[in-house]
Amino acid sequence: MAERRPTIADVAHRVGVSKTLVSFVFNDRPGVAPETRARILATAKEMGWRPRPSARSLSTRRSFALGLVVRRDASVLTADSFFPAFIAGVETVLADEGQVLVLSMVPEASELSTYRTLASDHRVDGVFLTDLRRADSRLPLLVELGLPAVTLGRPDSASTFPCIDLDDQPGVEQTVQHLQALGHSRIAYVAGDAAMLHGQRRRASFVAAMAAAGLSGALVENTDFSATEAALATDRLLQLTPRPTAIVYASDPMAVAGLGIIQARRLRCPDDVSVAGFDGADIARHIYPALTTVVSDPVAWGRTAARTLLQLIADGRADDVELPAAELRIARSTAPPIESQAQPSIRTPQSATT
């Protein structure tokens, strides 16, 4: 038989006060002596009691939920290592606070109406804004709705919301410098969605780093961040004469897709083509060859974003947070190019043309 969940009456009985006084403490109402408040909170924690979100919602007019609306195709989201790790970070904070995350995956046409519904139905107390875009229309909408928000990254337009930012430029620069030091000069880049600010920023960082190294940054293929698009982009790059000796990808799942095409074309990584990714996904350590990648920490993003949003909701303000810059982690997918190689004929695999 499951152990009975402690009730507010149990806490009141243990402390020797009324249920009303315990309720006042957990609803942050005035009129409770500091010593008594501390004793009630300590006893409740010891007993493993926490107020039910539904009960707290009725008494405080809060939902005790945070929202994450993602405008991406499901196939892209499921292959993206960032979001599961980010959500895990958010949940570690919300679990301790007795709160929940409301996740909505929506098409572009429904995105803004989803925020309106979340606000009008009081389903969430605040939201996380990811995949920021140019002149992002969500920012003024959330101000209009009075819905607190935290942005992942710094918007390119005026914003009243705190942001959690991470500078990924050093990681991209380190990747280009690493490849140049190995002897690569013909380096290609498979970029993410140009409509997203972080996709633009990583591409711009690559082009700038190539220019600083005295190399051409013209070999760029744009994609939508999906593995399918990355595979097609890789296929196009490998058909160039001469082909690139190294390819940098805007995310690790894209790099893994590229590795598949390289191997399907009977080329070797890193002997024929070096490969580097971005994200530091756990899978990058376990594929063959292990992936050289720029490491960020999505779990830390999630934890920091959750704490910041909760502070904004509670206090009406919260500061921006700058996370440690992304850094390159070198593995076996990058090596010096084989300068004397005769470029082998490329066999077109079935998967590259379907």
The predicted model gives 157-185 an average pLDDT of 95
Q: What is the pLDDT of residues 262-292, one digit of tens each?
A: 999 999 999 999 999 998 888 889 999 999 9
Q: How many Cβ atoms from other residues are within 10 Å of residue 25's Cβ? A: 22
- 231 near 257, Cβ under 8 Å? yes
Domains 65-167+298-325 and 169-296+330-352 equal at CATH topology level: yes
Contact 163, 304 (CB under 8 A): no
Question: Is 65-167+298-325 a CATH 3.40.50.2300 domain?
Answer: yes
Cα–Cα dist 261/188, whole Å: 15
Asked whether the beta carbons of 232 and 249 are under 8 A apart, the reply is no
pLDDT at 178 over 60: yes
Question: What pLDDT, on a 0 to 100 scale, did the predictor assign at position 11?
Answer: 85
Q: Domain extents for the chain? A: 65-167+298-325, 169-296+330-352
Given a cut of 80, is residue 29 above it in pLDDT? no
CATH of 169-296+330-352, one of 3.90.1170.50, 3.40.50.2300, 3.40.50.150, 3.40.1190.20: 3.40.50.2300
The residue among 313, 317, 348, 284 whose CA lies nearest residue 85 is 284
| Predicted model pTM | 0.78
